[in-house]
Amino acid sequence: MSDSSSKLLAALFAEQRVLSVTEVTEKVKDTLESEFFALHVQGEVSNYKRHQSGHWYFTLKDSSSQLRAVFYRQWNRLMRFEPENGLEVRLRGRLSVYEPRGEYQIIVEVMEPLGVGALQLAFEQQVRRLAAEGLFDESRKRELPLLPRRVGIVTSPVGAALRDMLQILERRNRGIDVMIAPVRVQGTGAAREIADAIRLLNKQAKKSGHEIDVIIVGRGGGSIEDLWAFNEEQVARAIYESEIPVVSAVGHETDYTIADFVADHRAPTPSAAAEIVATELNDLDLRIEQLQNSLTRVMNYYLLLRRSELRDLIESQGFVETAKVVSSLSAKCCELEKRAADAVEKHLRNSGTRLQNAKRRLEATDYRALLAIKSARLDALGQRINRAIQKRLEFQQHNLAVAASKLDMLSPLSVLGRGYVLVKDESGNLVSQAAAVKSGQRLTLRFEDGEVGCRAD
């Protein structure tokens, strides 16, 4: 390059301020965010990823281009459904630049699926996920009690559904107690209230005297938005965990919610739920009468069969011979029974006679003189025993005194008392000869009242 060209380039750079990469990125970001702050875009979702922070990251694409997108948690938590790869969506947001990479992206604020409503898509996603967990399994669903004593109802306290259910329960069976758990059945927080009410009734039913046999969960008809609380996962899990059978009665006959799939029984309407739970007394009376008639017919038929079998048995040859043997044994048993009764009666008479004779002998004998003689003899024997014991003790005491005197005479202590001493060496051995003592040896002298140490000189 010539010197003139270099000077020209230097002059050009000198006239313009050189920007850093960060400054360029910031300018692009400001331009995009100010120019495309309210953008509506339609495309297909791909590379969808849900981050542990709760943010959604995906790519929006069409046949020839693609656009990175992020749906932050503070916005996507308001969505009923979750995007899937291949789903066609329309979204609203604003363009921005991810500065660390210098890539532009759309920050999503609202999203809706195309071809199917957002709530319908959320419903289908929820159904697939809970079905995979086994919440809809028919094997876990329980039969409803035939004659419930207490019914729990989870619904709005001001709705027509509650009034209709109470009227039907009163008309069909007045013996049923009703425990109402009032809740909101639509709007924010309704699902939480419904789930808490189901758990509260289960907890209450564990108290003695407050048992609940069945729970009705429901409300009147409405749009899918109105009924959405009964599609929430927390309501489905509360019904699944309920230890009491649950009847779902949400909306009209054509309305289906996830609560219907989880519940032990689905009623098309709240009124139908009350009719299912409370069997009418007249129907019960009719059913009991039918069962009684059926039982009577079965018993008559059974007796007829038994009579026929008995008649055939009587007419058979084997039965006649058996009947003769039984008759003979029966007569023999009667004879033995009579003989046993006679023998017992005779034994009782003899025993009674002996008892009377013994009683007369006892009454005729005077035992007072005999008792006096025996008592005097007993006293004499007692005195003799006491004298013998006293004499024996005196003899033993004398012998003990003599032995003690002899022992005292032989005791070395008595010798010491007369002025003698015992001499012991350092090992405690007795010294009996003077020749065994060495000069300067330490000795111990044992007197009657103690010991004294000394040294031999």
Per-residue model confidence as pLDDT tens digits over 128-138: 889 999 998 99
- Least confident segment among 197-206, 254-263, 366-375: 366-375
Per-chain mean pLDDT for the chain? 84
Looking at residue 44, its pLDDT comes to 84
Q: Please tell me the least confidently modeled range out of 22-26, 335-339, 351-355, 385-389.
A: 22-26
- Identify the pLDDT of residue 116: 60
Give the pLDDT confidence score for residue 318 in this predicted structure: 66
- Helices 233-241 and 190-205 pack at an angle, to 10 degrees, of 10
Percent of all residues in the chain with a pLDDT value above 70, rounded to a whole number:
90
Q: Which of 150-159, 281-290, 398-407, 426-435 has the highest mean pLDDT?
A: 150-159
pLDDT score of 234: 93
Q: Could you give the CA distance from residue 187 to residue 184 in angstroms, rounded to a whole number? A: 8
pLDDT for residue 368: 72
pLDDT, tens digit (0-9, with 9 covering 90-100), for 63-75: 788 889 999 988 8
Q: What is the pLDDT of residue 217?
A: 95
262 pLDDT more than 90? yes
* pLDDT tens, residue by residue, 290-338: 888 888 899 989 988 888 887 777 776 666 677 777 778 888 888 888 8
What pLDDT is recorded for position 180?
Answer: 92
What integer is the mean pLDDT of 240-251?
93
Q: Cβ(156)–Cβ(162) under 8 Å? A: yes
User: For 398-417, what is the mean pLDDT?
Assistant: 75
- pLDDT-derived band at 273, boundaries 50, 70, 90: very high
pLDDT, residue 280, reads: 66
pLDDT at 361 over 90: no
According to the model, what pLDDT value does residue 14 have? 57
Q: Residue 47: which of 85, 82, 103, 76 has the closest Cα?
A: 85
Q: Give the model's pLDDT for residue 115.
A: 64
What are 438-450's pLDDT values in tens digits? 888 888 888 878 8
On the question of pLDDT at 26 being above 90, the answer is no
User: Out of 16-30, 55-69, 257-271, 297-311, which region has the weakest mean confidence (pLDDT)?
Assistant: 16-30
What is the pLDDT confidence band of residue 195, given thresholds at 50, 70 and 90?
A: very high
Residues 6 or more apart whose CB falls under 8 angstroms from that of 195 comprise 232, 234, 235, 237, 238
